[in-house]
Amino acid sequence: MTAAAPADAGALRARTRDLLAAHPPADTDRTDFLRARFDAGLAWVHYPEGLGGLGAPRALQSVVDDGLAAAGAPDNDPRRIGIGLGMAAPTLLAHGSDEVRRRFLRPLWVGEEVWCQLFSEPGAGSDLAALATRAVRDGDDWIVTGQKVWTSSAHTARWAILIARSDPGLPKHRGLTYFVCDMTAPGVDVRPLRQLTGEAEFNEVFLSGVRIPDRHRLGAVGAGWQVARTTLMNERVSIGGRRLPREGGMIAPAARTWRERPELRTHALHQRLLTLWVEAEAARLAGERLRQQLAAGVPGPEGSAMKLFFARLNQEISALEVELRGPEGLLYDDWTLRRPELVDFTGRDAGYRYLRAKGNSIEGGTSEVLLNIVAERVLGLPSEPRDDKDIAWKDLAR
């Protein structure tokens, strides 16, 4: 396929066959194969040529994925690099310079570099725009100082997407600037946060005079909120709009327990399971619809609705499974202070799922904030009164 050739399904199948012929999966190093796939434009087919894509319709990605899966080709372990794929990459593409996109997108997609997200702060969680981390210009660099919290994968990440306050004299949404931060730079201190499950999958991150080159800025100075919205909309889709098979996700272990443990059944639990099974299937189909919409454009507020529903559904399913199992429901055999690289909801015990699902209504935007987004941007309801929109951040009460 040349730059002028039509990017249709047939052309993509031919390009996929050419990739497999030149790099047989059984005889090619995994990383080398993934690099070759990216260079062939078959990583994200809707991205531009030279950046892992071919400028093809997003809906045609499944043509490539299905052909490679049938040939036994390796994937890029998307769960391990989910923050990079779901949040950093679309933000880099939309707001990064050519230099930034060419430097970061290939190793991000291949999985050679893990990413994390430095957004939330101890005093600015739900109200992200109230963040206090400061970025001060110093010639061709920025000096960043502050604290971030609830940062998943910071202990394994090489790079981070970071939003900081560059002008405290402006209202809170207008004085922000967005950067790519080197997690190995002097002044970056990552400390584990132990959570309800007994693990430390996320962290607090202290930034003490961290130097970031201006070339690693995304978007204009002061336009960090607009850039962050790109990240947040994609984040909510990546959390709540994942592709699942029928009876996939959290409903799968609950249904399996029901089938395998008849002695645990009651009529009331059966009715609840049926209701949640139907809701899980409705959510799965809504996710398919959302992905079809994404194929024609960029994420909108609908992703917030999906993430909101996903959080509630996960919590209700995991609570049902604990009740179904009775006294053994809260037990799990790997309660320990671990530093996992990723969250595994379905490969763990019921007790872990129940405890970990509590975080679903906080991470990726609290349910309360998402309800406001759905009310205002989907239903067209009046926004909540706000008396701090036009006040300089430095003058706000904290």
Summarize pLDDT for 185-233 with one digit per residue, the tens.
999 999 999 888 888 888 999 999 999 999 999 999 999 999 999 998 8
For residue range 75-120, what is the model confidence (pLDDT) as tens digits?
999 989 999 999 999 999 999 999 999 999 999 999 999 999 999 9
Residues 127 and 203 grouped into a single domain = yes
Q: What is the DSSP letter of 383?
A: P
Expressed as residue numbers, the domain containing 326 is: 241-378
Instruction: Return the ∠ at Cα 123 (arms to 120 and 240), rounded to 5°.
Output: 30
Residue 2 has pLDDT above 50, yes or no: no
Is residue 25 situated within a structural domain?
Answer: yes
For residues 134 and 34, what is the distance between their CA atoms, to the nearest angstrom?
38
Share of the chain above pLDDT 90, in %: 59
Indicate if the pLDDT at residue 347 is higher than 60.
yes
Q: Are residues 246 and 373 in the same domain?
A: yes
For residues 125 and 391, the answer to whether their CB atoms sit within 8 Å is no
147-166 pLDDT per residue, tens: 999 998 999 999 999 999 99
Residue 388 has pLDDT above 70, yes or no: yes
- Whether the per-residue pLDDT at 20 is higher than 60: the answer is yes
Average pLDDT over residues 173-184: 97
The rounded Cα 247 to chain-centroid distance in angstroms is: 22
Does 5 score more than 50 pLDDT? no
pLDDT category of residue 300 using cuts at 50, 70 and 90: low
Gap between the Cα atoms of 54 and 58, Å rounded:
10
Q: How many alpha carbons fall within 13 Å on the CB side of residue 245?
A: 2
**245 plus 208 within the same structural domain:** no
- CA dist 315 and 219 (Å) reads 37
pTM, rounded to two decimals: 0.86
Number of domain units in the chain? 3
Single out the residue of 305, 175, 331 nearest to residue 240, CA to CA. 305
249 in the same domain as 182:
no
Same domain, 197 and 250: no
218/248 same-domain check: no
**155 inside domain:** yes
pLDDT of residue 237: 62
CATH of the domain at 130: 2.40.110.10
Active site residues: 235
Last residue of a domain, one of 70, 86, 104: 70
> Residue 3 above 50 pLDDT?
no
251 with 333, same domain: the answer is: yes
Same domain (yes/no): 57, 130:
no
Q: How far apart are the first and last CA of the chain?
A: 57
Mean pLDDT of 11-39: 97
**Dihedral angle sign, alpha carbons of residues 141, 146, 149, 154:** positive
Asked if residue 85 is part of any domain, the answer here is: no
Residue 97 resides in a domain? no
Asked whether residue 216 falls in the same domain as residue 297, the answer is: no
pLDDT digits (tens, 9 = 90+) for 242-288: 667 888 889 999 999 999 888 888 999 999 999 999 999 998 888 77
Q: Residues 22, 145: one domain?
A: no
- 249 and 201 in a common domain: no
Report yes or no on 29 lying in a domain. yes
Percent residues over pLDDT 70 in the chain: 92
- Let me know if residue 4 belongs to a domain: no
Distance CA 207, CA 209 (A): 6
Q: 336 vs 4, which has greater pLDDT? A: 336
Please tell me whether residues 248 and 371 are part of one structural domain: yes
**CATH, residue 367:** 1.20.140.10
Is there a domain that residue 232 lies in? no
In a domain, 336, yes or no: yes
- Say what the pLDDT of residue 338 is: 67
Mean pLDDT of 323-337: 77
